[in-house]
Amino acid sequence: MTVGSWSLLTENGDVFHGGRLVGHLTVSEEQVLGAIMARYPLLISGLALYEAGFSSECARTYVYRIRQKLGQAVITTDHKRGYRFNPEAAA
């Protein structure tokens, strides 16, 4: 899956930015990031993540871990509404 200069390889969880490997995600992190990227440019609600099998606390935890690995700006949070992928973020 590719959005802007970001690519997520869903078969192994590798994440590339501008063709350079910038991180490796666990299966759950990859599923959350994949769901968020798939909705770009729209946001994905907590309900949609819940329907995908992630409680709100789990989703927050995985978003936190993704941000730790890929950078804080890669996922933005719209308070009480959901998450949005930010392809303009630097790795």
Q: Across all residues in the chain, what is the average pLDDT? A: 95
Q: What's the length of the chain?
A: 91
Amino acid at 8: L
Degrees to nearest 5, angle at CA 55 with 90 and 14: 35
Architecture in CATH for domain 2-85 = Orthogonal Bundle (1.10)
Q: pLDDT tens digits for 65-81?
A: 999 999 999 999 998 89
Domain range summary for the chain, segments of one domain joined by +: 2-85
Q: pLDDT tens digits for 33-60?
A: 999 999 999 999 989 999 999 998 999 9
